Amino acid sequence: MNEQQFDKYLNINTIGEQYGFPKLAHYHRYEPTPYAGLEQLFEQYELPENPVFVDMGCGKGRVPIYIHDKFHIPTVGVEMDAGFHAEAEHNKINYVQKKHKGELIAFEHVIAEEYSIKSVDNVFFFFNPFSIKIFRTVIHNIWKSYELNMREIHLILYYPSHDYLQFLEYGTPFALAHEVYLRNETNINERLCVFTLEKA
């Protein structure tokens, strides 16, 4: 399926990039994660046991709704922009009306570094949503949660920035476990990287 067909299948509207976004030093504009990339990722990668999926910078809610539909697991979308948060909630309503499910999808209107990480959250998705400064803070919060409740944690990075990769490799205990290069792409940055932290 193409982008339009996937949105129609899920009964949501997430196509289109963000316009009129204020120029903020640490937050990047919205761009929906391509469905094709997600499909290819899950051809090669398996979620951990009892997954709870958190999308940091979820925009209109595409990824949490897609993941919920595919795996029937709890998903959370974290979004700082009030307009996109409202669109995500609206998309959830439309999805539920068609699919008759969705009670395990939640959207939180909060900046990523202030999201309260739950003890069950164990898969975190990033489509390069903010600067390395914010990313470090979010990873620190994930690590603090891990110390309180040690569990296997996965980080999924789509189109990861060099700064993100360097920080995870040299500044954290996370280890690169999967690297998925997307088909029909010539840019080597067009890939998904999965970092894991095993339960101690």
Express each pLDDT in 41-96 by its tens digit: 999 999 999 999 999 999 999 999 999 999 999 999 999 999 999 999 999 999 99
Q: How far apart are CA 156 and CA 145, in angstroms?
A: 17
| Distance (Å, whole) CA 171 – CA 165 | 10
How is residue 47 annotated by DSSP?
-
Q: How far apart are CA 103 and CA 74, in angstroms?
A: 8
Summarised one tens digit per residue, pLDDT across range 132-172 is 999 999 999 999 999 999 999 999 999 999 999 999 999 99
In the predicted structure, residue 20 carries a pLDDT above the cut 50: no
Specify the pLDDT at position 128. 84
Q: Judge whether 195 and 154 are in contact, CB under 8 Å.
A: yes
Instruction: Using DSSP, state whether 160 is helix, strand or coil.
Output: coil
